Chain A
Amino acid sequence: MDILQICSLKKKYRKKISKGTVVETVAIDDLNFKIESGSFISIMGKSGCGKTTLLKLIGGLDTPTEGEILYKGKPLTKLSHDQLAQYRREQIGFVFQDYNLMDSLTIKENIMLPMLLDNKKLKEIEESVMYYAQRFGIRKHLNKYPGELSGGEQQRASICRALSNNPKLILADEPTGNLDSQSSKEVVRCLKEMNQELRKTVILVTHDPYIASFADEVILLKDGMIEKRLVNHMEKDKFFKILIEHLNAF
């Protein structure tokens, strides 16, 4: 079953420079693709090709200029503000490059936040926090503040947070951008586990072909359009090599 359907999606940014002159940037230009439920998709492309914009559109943080995104067959543009908020709260987990943890909350509180917003029971929430914290090895840091953790630990905490609400779809925008290769591996391994064991759909934006090679499928974007879709049938190392070839040919 397709969890996401993207139909002739377009996004233009307009900016008034002075009176009369409007500068238009086309961030996404006529995208069409489907994402199956439970798949691990990686999106790659040069800087400025519209990856973040695409994730924002999928997450309902921005509205497309044209076209439509169907989530489980339902169009996002038909949803009201509050419904969109609810969609984000219940269906989507975001992981970003700069962790996006709130400095004034402890790690535990940060992870709890989406569930608290969802008015879940306290006991249920604490159990969920403990489960994910255990799993991602940040249990002993739960009562610390984000500033006291390393980048990798913070990123894992933010993955915990993205998962804690049991979303169907995880959107990760360069989650390994600030990490060393060891921590990056850990983070992507976590995502992979989530994908395989809990059947979550993961969309991962990255510049790192090694990270991308964990995916079932890699979508290469160029100037807001799909350049190529590479399906991962083979071993990881082989796929990695093929990826690098394609990227060099770009």
Chain B
Amino acid sequence: MLLKILLKNFRSSLKDYLLFFIHQSLMVVIFFVMTFFFRIAFKVSEMDDVSSLASFIYTAVVIVVIITLVSTNMNLRNYLMIRNKDYDFLAILGIRPQMLYLLLCVEFAMGSLLAILVGLLGGSFCVLGIADLLGKSGFQNDILMVSIWNYLNSSFIFIVIVGICMIVNCRCFSRPGKKTNSESAMEWESYKAYDLPFLLIGGLLVIGILVNLWFYYSVLNSLISMMLLVGSACLIVFSGSRFIFKKMRKNKKWYYQNLLTSNRMMYQFNKNKKLLFTIFSLNFLIFYLMGSITASYGTLINAEDQESYPYDAVAISELKMDENRINQSGITAFETIPILPVYDSNDNREPHYWGISLNSYFKLTGKEEALGGNEIILISQQEGVQNNATTVMKRALTMAGSSSNYQIQKYFQEIIFGKISNKNLNNIIVFSDEEFQQQYSDANNEMTLFLGKISMNFDKTAFDQSNLLVTVYKQDMLQQIKNENQIMFLIFILLGLIMMIQLGSSLYFRFFTDRNQFLADARFLKQLGMTDKGIKKIYTKETAMLIFLPIVTSFLWSGFFFCAEMKFQNVAFLENSGLFMAFGISYFLIELAFYKILERQLVSHVSYG
């Protein structure tokens, strides 16, 4: 009997069901692809334990699990809400609420199981495509295999997630009365006292975080700061906008003139604050991670012509960090080379030349013969002398994002030596370690240089104080880094996608459930003599706010935080921010398209109401 009712209902509500079903299936697809990446990370970290990719993927998987949990929960809740109406008649006939819940859950579980099957199938196709892509760019095939492990794990985790959601929702379902409309219009008034303090606390928190980062920059610290920052950002954005709303309300003339618009906005904002919060924080996370990828690896992404490059050394990054810090941050894959200031004897306050040791030079170029034994080499850019070492440095700098000679100088000066010298960069010296030792121990010694006799002066304390380092990627590391980059980008697209689905469906269901109220209000405003155009305008504004407020604020916020963080690390973020911008803008454009669809679905109905 139960089964009969069940099946009949299942069939009759197929259209409602389809939406949830598609959502669930997409979640499974993304989930499955994530497990695929997870496996790659696992394999990669088995082969070499220095990969930063693994930890990145672990983080991404955790994020995806959280998002899936949140969105499945929301999905179930919306589902219950919509289907609950259909089941009202059963409730009237006297079926216990627990029974009803069970019925709905069985329905949802059936759909979810089917979604898992469809999702796994779709996911397999996606993975095939991705594996093909990665295989072409130099990944070994045995890493890219999909095993039964992937299928089992992703379906298992998904089932667990669905189960958790059902248990969580059981409680609020058995409670009598609708939970959905608990947020009434009145609630606005009760927050009165807290907005300004919250705003201030948020502001202070941000300042604290920035100061903390300025003095104690580390990866861990940065991560914790980020979490705190999401919290403080929410405090600021939410209490801030409420504060502004209320201030606007105080201004009677303005408020009454824009009564409907401002009131509706306030109302929607208040009603949907949880949803806005979720969207905001998830978006922030995505944008932030995107930014960090862009900044750390953006330089490398540009390095497409590495085949034409004759040397092993490739790029510079991680500047002005001492070796301990680099080790702490786990970046052991890079070679770090000290750069030494060389002082003119006439003017020993400012370094006139910059040197690297022969050892480093050898590491950079792999060419010993170019040095001609133990001789000292002067690299002069001003005099236009070209030799291998110049090329190396130039090359390294070119990879770091600049191309012209002028830019090289500027880059070198500003980024590497900017803190010490504001003169033009004159010369770079490469000399042997022995020579260096000799010179170093014996100050005020004159050296015979390649271009003639220049009196020089090594300042011992200056050497000790300046811990300038150039980090150089080795050629074989480059391929790996590029591969990792590629995976990270794919993961980013996935994360972006999952966010989009989450955002889209949550807003869709929000509007879907609000639609009747929405249309009733529209009808009422029409009776009062508002034009269709005026009504549409109000609803367009409030819909736009719900969609764009969290996205735009999270984008700006993460951008701001990111720029600040990069400043502390002395990485020129803005020069490499193209990708970040592209990501942000395309994300925005997709949302815009989505918004247009929603608007068409909802607002256009106003005129028929």
Cβ-neighbour of B263 out of A96, A105, A125 (below 8 A): A105
Query: Once bound together, how far apart are the Cα atoms of A82 and B529, in whole Å?
Result: 9
Within 8 A of A (CB), among B526-542: 526-532, 534
Find out whether the CB atom of A147 lies under 8 angstroms from the CB atom of B184.
yes
Which residues of B have CB within 8 Å of A188? none
CB-CB contacts below 8 Å: A97-148 with B: 100, 102-105, 109, 112-114, 116-118, 122, 125, 145, 147-148
- Contact at A81–B528, with CB atoms within 8 Å? no
Contact B527 A103 (CB under 8 A): no
User: B529 touching A104 by the CB < 8 A rule?
Assistant: no
Contacts of B528 in A (CB 8 A): 88-89, 94, 113-114, 117, 161
Closest-CB distance, B226 to chain A (whole angstroms)? 36
Q: Is A22 an interface residue (CB 8 A)?
A: no
Q: CB < 8 Å: which of B259, B264, B531 contacts A112? A: B259
Shortest C-beta distance, A112 to chain B (Å), equals 7
Chain A residue, CB-CB nearest to B185 = A104
Q: Across the interface, name the chain A residue whose C-beta is closest to B527.
A: A94
Within 8 A of A (CB), among B232-264: 252-253, 256-257, 259-260, 263-264
Q: Does B521 contact A (CB under 8 A)?
A: yes
- Least Cβ–Cβ distance between A76 and chain B, in angstroms: 14
Tell me which residues across on chain B come within 8 A of A112, comparing CB atoms: 256, 259
Nearest A residue to B517, CB-CB: A103
B216 at the interface (CB under 8 A from A): no
Q: Are B529 and A145 in contact (CB under 8 A)?
A: no
Give Cα A113 to B261, complex, Å: 12
The answer to whether B185 and A109 touch across the interface, beta carbons within 8 angstroms, is: no
B267 proximal to A (CB < 8 A): yes
Give A114 to B524 CA distance when docked, in angstroms: 11
The A-contacting residues of B in range 509-535, CB under 8 angstroms, are: 521, 524, 526-532, 534
Residues of B within 8 A of A89 (CB): 528-530
Alpha-carbon distance A113/B529, docked complex (angstroms): 10
A148 to B528 alpha-carbon distance, docked (Å): 23
Shortest A178–chain B CB gap in Å is 16
**The residue from B186, B264, B527 contacting A100, defined by CB atoms under 8 A apart:** B527
Q: Collect the chain A residues with CB atoms within 8 Å of residue B259's CB.
A: 105, 109, 112-113, 116
Of B186, B252, B264, B528, most buried by chain A (CB within 10 Å of CB) is B528
- Nearest chain-A residue to B260 (Cβ)? A113
* The one of A102, A117, A118, A125 that contacts B524, using a Cβ cutoff of 8 Å: A102
Pair count A-B, CB < 8 A: 69
A102 to B528: give the CA distance in the assembly, Å: 12
Check if A148 sits within 8 Å of B186, measured CB to CB: yes
Contact between chains at A122 and B527 (CB < 8 Å) = no
Cβ-based interface call for A90 (8 A)? yes
A116 contacts B256, CB within 8 Å?
yes
Is the beta-carbon distance between A116 and B257 smaller than 8 angstroms?
yes
Report, as a range, how many residues of chain A touch the other chain. 20 to 34
Q: Which residue of B lies closest to A100 (CB)?
A: B524
Q: Could you tell me the distance in whole angstroms from the C-beta of A172 to the nearest C-beta in chain B?
A: 12
Q: Say yes or no for A92: interface residue by CB 8 A criterion.
A: yes
Chain A proximity of B530: nearest CB distance (Å): 6
CB distance from B533 to the nearest CB of A (A): 8
Most A C-beta atoms less than 10 A away, residue of B267, B529, B532: B529
Q: Given known contacts A109-B259, A109-B263, A113-B259, is B521 in contact with A82 (CB within 8 Å)?
A: no
Q: Is A50 located at the chain interface by the 8 A CB criterion?
A: no
CA distance A113 to B521 in the complex (A): 13
- Residue from B256, B529, B534 in contact with A90 in the complex, judged by beta carbons closer than 8 Å: B529
Asked whether A104 lies within 8 Å of B264 as measured between CB atoms, the reply is: yes
Task: Determine the distance from Cα of A142 to Cα of B257 in the docked complex, in whole angstroms.
Answer: 19
Mask of A68-86 contacts with B, CB within 8 angstroms, 1/0: 0000000000000110011
Q: Which residue of chain A has its CB nearest to the CB of B186?
A: A145
Closest to A56 in B: B527
- Taking a contact as CB atoms under 8 Å apart, the answer to whether B252 and A103 are in contact is no
A154 to B260, CA, bound (A): 20
A198 at interface by CB-CB < 8 Å: no
Contact B521 A102 (CB under 8 A): yes
Nearest Cβ on chain B to A74's Cβ, whole angstroms: 17
Q: Does B267 lie within 8 Å of A104, measured CB to CB?
A: yes
B residues in contact with A145, CB < 8 Å:
184-186
- The docked-state distance in angstroms from the alpha carbon of A65 to that of B209 is 68
A87 interface residue (CB < 8 Å to B): yes
Inter-chain contacts of A82 with B (CB < 8 A):
531
Task: Determine the residue in chain A with the shortest Cβ distance to B252.
Answer: A122
Report Cα–Cα, A145/B256, bound state, in Å: 16
| CB within 8 Å of B: which A185-213 residues | none
- Assess whether A59 is interfacial by the CB under 8 Å rule: yes
A147 touches B185 (CB 8 A): yes
Q: Contact mask B170-212 → A, CB, 8 Å, 1/0? A: 0000000000000011100000000000000000000000000
- Distance of A244 Cα from B264 Cα, bound (Å): 46
- Residues from chain A with a CB closer than 8 A to the CB of B253 are 122
A85 & B530 in contact (Cβ 8 Å cutoff): yes
Closest chain A residue, CB of each to CB of B188: A104
B534 to chain A, nearest CB (A): 8
With the chains together, A104 CA to B531 CA distance in Å?
20
A125 to B526, CA, bound (A): 20
User: How far does the alpha carbon of A184 sit from the alpha carbon of B524 in the complex, in Å?
Assistant: 22
Report the minimum CB–CB distance from B258 to chain A (whole Å): 9
B531 with A81: CB separation less than 8 A: yes
Is there a chain B Cβ closer than 8 Å to A61's Cβ?
yes
Question: Quick check: B529 and A88 within 8 Å, CB to CB?
Answer: yes
B419 to chain A, nearest CB (A): 56
Neighbour of A88 across the interface among B186, B263, B264, B527, CB < 8 A: B527
In the complex, are the beta carbons of B185 and A103 less than 8 A apart? yes
- Beyond A103-B185, A145-B184, whether A117 also contacts B256 by CB under 8 A is no
CB contact between A85 and one of B186, B264, B529 (< 8 Å): that residue: B529
Specify which chain A residues have a CB less than 8 angstroms from the CB of B524 in the assembled complex. 100, 102
Tell which of B253, B267, B527 has the most Cβ of chain A within 10 Å: B527
Nearest 9 Cβ contacts at the A-B interface: A89-B529, A88-B529, A104-B267, A85-B531, A104-B185, A100-B524, A94-B527, A85-B529, A114-B528
What are 24 A-B contacts with C-beta separation under 8 Å?
A61-B527, A81-B532, A85-B531, A86-B529, A88-B526, A88-B528, A88-B529, A89-B529, A90-B529, A92-B529, A102-B521, A104-B266, A105-B185, A105-B259, A109-B263, A112-B256, A114-B528, A114-B529, A116-B256, A116-B259, A117-B528, A117-B530, A118-B529, A145-B185
Which residues of B are interface residues toward A (Cβ below 8 A)? 184-186, 252-253, 256-257, 259-260, 263-264, 266-267, 521, 524, 526-532, 534
A interface residues with partner B (beta carbon < 8 Å): 59, 61, 81-82, 85-90, 92, 94, 96, 100, 102-105, 109, 112-114, 116-118, 122, 125, 145, 147-148, 161
A92-B529, A104-B266, A117-B529 given. 16 additional CB < 8 A pairs? A85-B529, A85-B530, A87-B529, A94-B527, A94-B528, A103-B184, A103-B185, A104-B185, A104-B263, A105-B259, A109-B256, A113-B259, A113-B260, A113-B528, A122-B253, A145-B184
